[in-house]
Amino acid sequence: MELRALVSALGDFASLSLAESWDNVGLLVEPSPPHAVNTLFLTNDLTEEVMKEAVRRKAELVLSYHPPIFTPLKRVTWQTWKERLVVRALEHRVGIYSPHTAYDAVPHGVNAWLAKGLGACTCAPLRPSAAPSQPAQGTHRVEFCAGSTERLDTVLSKIRDIQEISCLTTLPARVEGEEQTRVSLSCSQKALLEVVALLSQNNLVHHRTEILLLQKPLLPHTGMGRLCTLSEPASLSDVIGRIKSHLKLLHVRLALGTGKALESPVKKVALCAGSGSSVLKGTEADLYLTGEMSHHDILDAVANGISVILCEHSNTERGFLLELRDTLAVHLQNKINIIVSEKDRDPLQVV
């Protein structure tokens, strides 16, 4: 499968527009074209050991959940491990693609997989994602009425000279028994200031002027984190057991909420794969489930009677790769071989 066709198909599977604005997603390293991909190699973290494995297993594209290139590289030498990843990738003609938070947001992504470990439950995003495109051009819609045709023509002429104005329409309207013209236009935030100033100068700003903020519609079942309501309440101890089993972990870290015990019932669980502090903070739930949180955010949760389970960052993500392998195989119509790294692992271990 040609690389660009594969990248397009991966974008159809999970639109990169859903990724957080701070993220670095998409095709990060591209060998010179043409570049055919017969083997897609999945990993949570692309370390040097994992890159050697990808080369040994003859992968033409690595899909690394976490982007190995995040901060800009000023040079590509053999000096740092991330530079060496790029060098080795280009030497062996291996592309690198990262979806990261786009996979967090999609309904069939990492957070949805993590929620499966809770048992039967209903889930909704904690921070819903908006549609990637505006419902109309511009960020605002301005509507106003004017009675004087001559003065209106002058104003409309000046409005048309303003940059970032679109969808300008005029319709006859009857306002309080008087024949008037209803004007509607879309504009950017910058153009809005100019339009309002122009209307004010011509005494039209108070003539039933309305300014509407154009907001993107929210996408169903899509967004960061999940608030999960268990079909039947379960004890905290039982939920811990389910999570350990799902993540294949012998140990997790637990902070008991104030007044809570292992026998306390759990009905609502707020979860976020990876580092969930910013997404979980302030959410009302019986339990927070994530990979890592700051000490002070844990104290805040505990003080509010919310227990916290920490599993280490990548342990809440890595297991998704097996499900991703099977789902992508169907999405790509089994046109390429998809394999999961055997060397990828969380850097932390309990000793």
Taking the chain (351 residues) in runs of 10, the rounded mean pLDDT of each run is 97 96 97 97 98 98 97 94 98 98 97 98 96 72 84 89 92 86 92 92 75 89 98 98 98 98 98 97 97 97 98 98 98 97 94 87
User: Measured between alpha carbons, how far is 345 from 347 in angstroms, rounded to an integer?
Assistant: 6
Residue 350's pLDDT is: 86
* Strand-by-strand arrangement of the 287-292 sheet: 121-124, 226-235, 265-275, 287-292, 307-310, 253-255
Q: What is the CATH number of domain 140-213?
A: 3.30.70.120
CATH fold of 3-103 reads 3.40.1390
| Cα 283 from chain centroid (whole Å) | 18
Same fold, 3-103 and 140-213: no
* Binding site, annotated residues for a divalent metal cation: 66, 104, 313, 317
Cβ atoms within 10 Å, residue 202:
16
User: Measured between alpha carbons, how far is 116 from 156 in angstroms, rounded to an integer?
Assistant: 57
* Binding site, annotated residues: 66, 104, 313, 317
277 sits in which H/E element: helix 277-280
Instruction: Print burial letters for 301-317: b (CB count within 10 Å at least 16), e (below 16).
Output: bbeeebbbbbbbbbbbb
Please give the model's pTM, rounded to 2 decimal places: 0.84
Domain spans of the chain?
A: 3-103, 106-131+221-316, 140-213
Closest CA to 227 of 101, 127, 299: 127
Q: What is the CATH number of domain 106-131+221-316?
A: 3.40.1390.30
